[in-house]
Amino acid sequence: MHDLLSLRETETHDIRHLLTTAATLKDILSRPVKKVPTLRGRVVVTLFYEASTRTRTSFELAAKYMSADAVNIAVAQSSVTKGESLKDTLRTLQSVTADCIVMRHPSSGAAHLAAQFADVPVINAGDGRHEHPTQGLLDALTIAQAKGRTGSFRLDGLSVVIVGDLAHSRVARSNVWCLTKLGAQVRWCGPATLMPADASGLPVTVHTDLAEGLHEADVVMVLRLQTERQEKGLLPSVREYARTWGVNAAALRVARPDALVMHPGPMNRGVEISAEVADGVGGIRVGIEDQVRNGVAVRMACLYLLMDQPPDAHGGASSPTSTDVAPEVRS
């Protein structure tokens, strides 16, 4: 694995390896010294062509906990002229010794383009409506931990419903690929105007009724409603959306009693999720804080497994001569 561009293209065993590694690295977050020297002297560049605080901070923390240096380059969207300029930016970053590039870009496919230009690993931190692979991984880790599946990372028999604005959600796409590869069943649930045209081609069942979508669900993943959707005429009003599609305690009653509620953040309380659900009032199980912690752990695992891999190092352990690494120890 040289880059992490999409979970659709990531092999299932690589997904499990990333999750297993993340589950182990998570221990570092609860230590008195939250730092291991593993990536000392390496440089991680976060290149964000789109505003983001959480994801960028999470990547920066992950880099720092692994002792890498994190440099953020915020690119004003106005200065983006695709193609050549992205190429030039990446070349420049490489020439200033970036060892890994974490990129967010408003255009779907931008990460793949970047990976073609860059020799160093590229991690997709969200590209347009396409994918947000580290979010998919952290959601899978959160579900596996909540449901006691971290031994095998098999999610067979679990029904996960993703509720909300699916048409514009890269989170929903990464989750579909990740969760179905791990064995879960995924439902998409939302108003028809916010359902992508290609949903029928994805391994999901589509529901345009909230009660139907949440019925007996093990996990309820609520997506953020971007208020600009209303301006584009896809919604009558935010209040009407909250009334019809907002996940509140009453709506959750049709889900399984131990259903886990998740949200990628930042939340619009009172819109797509009610305050009582967000706060876990009345025994509602909420995974939102775990998602944030797991986000850092997953990104640590991505940096650990992707960085420093020499070209053609796929599983190849050269013959040990003067080192004391066990032959069993290999990538």
Q: Report the candidate in 289, 306, 305 with the shortest Cα–Cα distance to residue 29.
A: 289
Rounded Cα–Cα distance for residues 78 and 200 (Å): 35
Positions 5 through 44 that interact with another protein (CB under 8 A): 21, 23-25, 27, 31-33, 35-38
Nearer to another protein, 27 or 84 (CB): 27
Positions 39 through 68 that interact with another protein (CB under 8 A): 66
- Provide the Cα torsion 6, 158, 140, 19; round to 10°: -100
Query: How many alpha carbons fall within 13 Å on the CB side of residue 107?
Result: 12
Nearer to another protein, 231 or 328 (CB): 328
Q: How far is the CB of 321 from another protein (least distance, A)?
A: 7
Nearer to another protein, 134 or 175 (CB): 134
Does 317 help bind another protein (rule: CB under 8 A)? yes
Rounded Cα–Cα distance for residues 207 and 210 (Å): 7
Total binding residues toward another protein, as defined by CB under 8 A: 33
Determine how many CB atoms are found less than 10 A away from the CB of residue 24: 13
Rounded Cα–Cα distance for residues 290 and 145 (Å): 9
Site string (88-127) toward another protein, x via CB under 8 A: ----------------------------------------
**Of the residues 148, 233, 266, 327, which one makes contact with another protein according to CB under 8 A:** 327
Residue 70: strand, helix, or coil: strand
Positions 284 through 313 that interact with another protein (CB under 8 A): 304-305, 308-310, 313
Nearer to another protein, 111 or 297 (CB): 297
Contacts of 313 (CB under 8 A, 6+ apart): 331
Burial of 193 (0-12, 13-18, 19+ CB in 10 A): middle
Q: How far is the CB of 27 from another protein (least distance, A)?
A: 7
Nearer to another protein, 66 or 167 (CB): 66
Binding site for another protein (CB under 8 A): 21, 23-25, 27, 31-33, 35-38, 66, 304-305, 308-310, 313, 317-318, 320-331
